[in-house]
Amino acid sequence: MPSGLVIENPSMMHDPAPLAYSQIAIVPAGARMVFVAGQVGGPKKGAFADQVDEAFSAIATAMRAAGGDIADVAKLTVYIVDHDRAKHDALKAAVKAVFGDRLAPTCTIVPLTQCGTDPEQLVEIEAVGILAPLAD
């Protein structure tokens, strides 16, 4: 990652890699931070997995607009309506598809009874990205 972002799972902590998240994201001095607002399933709505895919697509678009890409994401916060094992498994699959073989970002899942004012919205994902410092 050109930003210098380091994502780790220290050996003295639980290994969350099978659950598609990491324990620590180390941000280098001088790096720029990108805060991506919560992204939702948009007009597609429908199945949870489709909404997750669309949210990640929007995050990737936002990161590109900021001068980075999805690999520069250090932290995710995922709000899930009626969180259960099936939704967690769908989220894991999406994270693995989006971030590939590298360690996934740190992540916090927040279960909700409703997300926003739209009862069809099942997930919202916000991200924090790290970009290299601007050249002087």
Question: For the chain, which domains are there?
Answer: 18-131 (3.30.1330.40)
- In Å, what is the CA distance from 52 to each residue of 6, 88, 119, 130? 25, 11, 16, 22
Q: Which two tokens stand for residue 21?
A: 């998240």
Q: How far apart are CA 53 and CA 91, in angstroms?
A: 9
The backbone torsions φ and ψ at residue 34, rounded to the nearest 5 degrees and listed phi first, read -120, 125
User: Which pLDDT belongs to residue 135?
Assistant: 74
- Tens-level pLDDT at each residue, the chain (136 residues): 467 888 999 999 998 888 889 999 999 899 999 999 999 986 566 799 999 999 999 999 999 999 999 999 999 999 999 999 999 999 999 999 999 988 999 999 999 999 888 888 999 999 999 998 877 6
User: Which pLDDT belongs to residue 118?
Assistant: 85
Give me the residues paired with residue 39 across strands: 125
